[in-house]
């Protein structure tokens, strides 16, 4: 099923940062949506599917996913060396809305045009439910990986499809992305998690008192492109193949670095930047309409994460500069220097997502549908931590559509995904092999060993107008 939610996280430290992705599934366009679905939904999967439009088509679609992720760390034997107590389990709770608005118009048989607004890339990690009521300390084992992040890449996509011969349609789209990200991160600049930073009479009085906190609000734009082929000359079979290019998300904006008393107790305004690459995606699907009442379909989605992000070329680059363009540090009253360029390594594999669905026109105004899917994870076990996380999962989606009157159709569905628990005992984040990008010196214990589990529930609604 379509993956509609991804988390990208970064952590501030003097030398290095950690980043990655959590993915939660959603389906843009509803139960039977794919690159072989004609009309406005093609503006997400396959612009050539605009060629299947008859007249004027409007689609308002939205999914809301409720994501739950739980982490029980086993690094250092599961004991926080600052307190001598077991690590507090990390809990992320995220609500992810994924809206879509598409317009398609076929003025002549040989040409169809359309435009859409959507959020093809949306992410966020919110582990604040793990924390105490106070803003500090961040006591969960993930506190140096992620506290809270929001990533949005909204797209306005004009597109067209041409029909060189009857039944064969070729399409092209040019998404214009409006990107934004907010970030809240903590860092242990001394790398002292293994040694309590402040002891009086053998008791830890302020185990996280050296933490430095980064926050920022960033924004930017980037372009991508889409193309595809749609074939509806083989009745009752319809075929579609779509391709969405990758892109570089490059956002900048104001932020601040807050230092504890141990490092000056100052708040330093900063300019924060973030660069990371998004992967190319290939969509392929086929639908069969054996009778007027019955439809069957299947799809494959190939996310080429390894193409963009399998090595150092895909590392996320974080910049933290003072307002005068220099590194944030001692000249700003800070008791340490913050590296102006922080590499946030991610090592991602290509991932395939599979789905199959069926629908039946149960009565003249009522359509019922069922969809099942399986999604592979993109993050290998050796690269996992709380900020670089993905799950294989299976899911089911069921719902109905109602032809209300004239061109108006309403739809509502529910979906649930089970994320396969991952137990990691061989994380490579702390190998100590001298690679500053992948084996960080700070914090020393960035190991991702632990047990990761979660679940996703969601609802999808749609309003369709077909003139």
Q: Which residues pair with 391 in a beta bridge?
A: none
CB atoms within 10 A of CB 67: 25
* Complete DSSP assignment for 92-126: EEEEEEEEEEEEEEEEETTEEEEEEEEEEEEEEEE
Which of 312, 390, 305 has the alpha carbon at shortest distance from 345? Answer: 312
User: What are 424-463's pLDDT values in tens digits?
Assistant: 987 776 554 555 554 444 334 457 889 999 888 999 999 9
CB atoms within 10 A of CB 293: 12
Are 177 and 220 a contacting pair, CB within 8 Å? no
pLDDT value of residue 158: 97
Q: Does domain 3-466 have CATH number 3.50.50.60?
A: no
3-state secondary structure 160-214: EEEEEECCEEEEEECCEEEEEEEEEEEECCCCCCCCCCCEECCEECCCCCCCEEE
Report the distance separating Cα 271 and Cα 173, nearest Å.
Answer: 34
pLDDT value of residue 238: 96
47 φ/ψ angles, rounded to the nearest 5 degrees: -60, -25
* Complete DSSP assignment for 324-336: TSSBSSGGGT-SS
Report the distance separating Cα 173 and Cα 226, nearest Å.
Answer: 5
pTM of the model: 0.87
Between the two ends of the chain, the Cα-to-Cα distance in Å is 29
Residue with tokens 């069957």: 296
Could you say which DSSP state residue 385 is in?
Answer: B
User: What are 140-163's pLDDT values in tens digits?
Assistant: 666 666 677 777 889 999 999 999
pLDDT value of residue 285: 97
pLDDT value of residue 28: 84
Instruction: Locate 270 and state its tokens.
Output: 């900063």
What distances in angstroms separate CA 370 from CA 107, 354, 356, 421, one per listed residue? 33, 14, 9, 25
pLDDT value of residue 150: 78
Q: Please, what is the average pLDDT of the chain?
A: 81
Report the distance separating Cα 415 and Cα 30, nearest Å.
Answer: 10
- Domain ranges within the chain, ordered by starting residue: 3-466
- Segments of the chain scoring below 70 in pLDDT: 1-26, 82, 124, 129-146, 189-207, 429-446
pLDDT value of residue 421: 94
Spell out a b/e string for 356-365, using b for 16 or more CB atoms within 10 Å of the CB, else e: ebbbebeeee
Counting Cα atoms < 13 Å in the Cβ hemisphere of 231 gives: 12
Report the distance separating Cα 374 and Cα 419, nearest Å.
Answer: 10
Who's near 340: CB < 8 A, 6+ residues apart? Answer: 319, 320, 321, 326, 327, 328
């Amino acid at each position: 099923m379509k993956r509609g939610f991804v988390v990208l996280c970064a952590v501030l430290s003097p030398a290095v940062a950690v980043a990655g992705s959590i993915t939660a599934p959603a389906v843009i366009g509803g139960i039977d949506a794919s690159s072989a679905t004609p009309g406005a939904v093609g503006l997400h999967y396959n612009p050539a599917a605009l060629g299947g439009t008859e007249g004027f088509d409007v689609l308002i679609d939205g999914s809301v996913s409720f994501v739950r992720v739980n982490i029980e760390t086993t690094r250092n034997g599961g004991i926080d060396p600052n307190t001598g107590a077991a690590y507090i389990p990390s809990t992320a709770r995220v609500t992810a809305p994924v809206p879509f608005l598409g317009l398609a118009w076929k003025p002549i048989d040989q040409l169809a045009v359309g435009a859409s607004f959507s959020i093809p890339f949306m992410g966020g990690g919110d582990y604040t439910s793990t924390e105490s009521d106070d803003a500090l300390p961040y006591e969960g084992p993930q506190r140096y990986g992620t506290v809270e992040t929001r990533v949005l890449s909204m797209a306005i996509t004009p597109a067209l499809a041409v029909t060189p011969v009857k039944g064969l349609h070729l399409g092209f789209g040019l998404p214009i992305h409006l990107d934004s990200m907010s970030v809240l991160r903590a860092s242990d600049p001394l790398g002292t998690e293994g040694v309590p930073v402040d002891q009086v009479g053998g008791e830890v009085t302020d185990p996280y008192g050296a933490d430095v906190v980064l926050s920022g609000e960033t924004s930017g734009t980037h372009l991508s492109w889409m193309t595809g082929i749609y074939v509806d000359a083989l009745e009752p079979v319809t075929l579609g193949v779509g391709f969405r290019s990758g892109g570089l998300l490059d956002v900048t904006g104001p932020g601040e670095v807050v230092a504890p008393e141990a490092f000056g107790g100052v708040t330093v305004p900063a300019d924060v930047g973030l660069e990371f690459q998004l992967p190319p995606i290939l969509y392929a699907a086929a639908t069969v309409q054996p009778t007027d009442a019955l439809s069957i379909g299947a799809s494959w989605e190939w996310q080429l994460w390894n193409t963009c992000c399998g090595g150092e070329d895909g590392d996320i680059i974080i910049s933290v500069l003072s307002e005068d363009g220099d590194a944030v540090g001692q000249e700003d009253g800070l008791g340490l220097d913050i590296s102006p360029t922080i590499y946030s390594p991610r090592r991602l594999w290509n991932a395939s997502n599979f789905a199959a669905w069926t629908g039946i026109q149960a009565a003249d105004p009522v359509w019922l549908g069922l969809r099942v899917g399986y999604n592979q994870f993109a993050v290998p076990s050796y690269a996992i931590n709380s900020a670089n996380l993905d799950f294989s999962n299976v899911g089911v989606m069921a719902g109905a559509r109602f032809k209300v009157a004239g061109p108006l159709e309403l739809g509502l569905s529910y979906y649930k995904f089970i994320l396969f628990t991952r137990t990691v005992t061989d994380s490579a984040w702390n190998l100590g092999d001298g690679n500053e990008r992948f084996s960080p010196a700070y914090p020393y214990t960035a190991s991702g060993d632990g047990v990761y589990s979660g679940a996703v529930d969601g609802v999808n609604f749609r309003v369709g107008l077909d003139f």
